Amino acid sequence: MVIGIFVGGGDSGGNSAAAPASSSALALSSAAPATTTLRREAAPGIYSMSAITNACDLVDPTPLRRWSSTPREDPQHQQFPPNSSDGGNLYCAIRYTSPSTIADDATVDEAGIGLQVQFTGVEATPAYDRWKQTDTTATGSGLASGEVTGIGAQGYWHTATTDKSNGMTYIVGVQDSNISVRVEVAVLRAKGEPPVNRDDLDTIAKNQAQQALNGLKKK
């Protein structure tokens, strides 16, 4: 059992959340909203996606390479302008893999990061509200949540760990002005390797959330 990265685009991905996934690799959902010809501007605010052609330009995956350094695939990214249901959204996922350092274990180590950005529609509520409700309401072994301060107007963190493998997913969601940002960092280590430190993932996720806000602020 491993921890998966679940990040989607638009309303179809707004209810996605981190949870253990039964697969041989970090799971990734790249769900995207259906295209539509009806366009709507994002709510007025200090952020804009007009200068972004690749959402992964907002992501710095360098910290992940301390755990795994070989790209598992090309970075996945999607960019959607304002439509009938939201003010536009961005999606990026980057994953790395590496052989386990445990000689008698064939497990492949992995590390990944996902970024989801949604701009608030003129008559909509922030996606942040849905994300926080979905991410933080689940309780149980290996799950924990709390508030994030100092990034945007409001924020939360959520972590999930597995019982049978050395894996952890850490989520930071923030809301500010006309934007909601959700960062998900997942690291999987083979049994017997040093455990993942939650503080390390917390730092990476918070830094990435702030970097996304900085990169999307109107000039």
Domains and CATH numbers, the chain: 2-216 (3.40.1000)
CB 186 within 8 A of CB 112: yes
Show the DSSP H helices in 59-194 as ranges: 127-137
Banded pLDDT at 121 (limits 50, 70, 90)? confident
**Residue 121, φ and ψ in degrees, nearest 5:** -70, 160
Q: What percent of the chain has pLDDT over 70?
A: 76
- Higher confidence at residue 7 or residue 47? 47
pLDDT at 107: 65
Show the DSSP H helices in 92-146 as ranges: 127-137
Euclidean distance between CA atoms 194 and 175, whole angstroms: 34
Angle (CA) 130 56 9, round 5°: 30
Query: What is the residue-averaged pLDDT of the chain?
Result: 81
pTM for this entry: 0.83
Model pLDDT for residues 19-40, shown as the tens digit of each residue: 333 333 455 444 343 333 344 5
Question: Pairing mode, if any, of strands 5-6 and 28-29?
Answer: parallel
Model pLDDT for residues 148-187, shown as the tens digit of each residue: 999 999 999 999 987 666 889 999 999 999 999 999 999 9
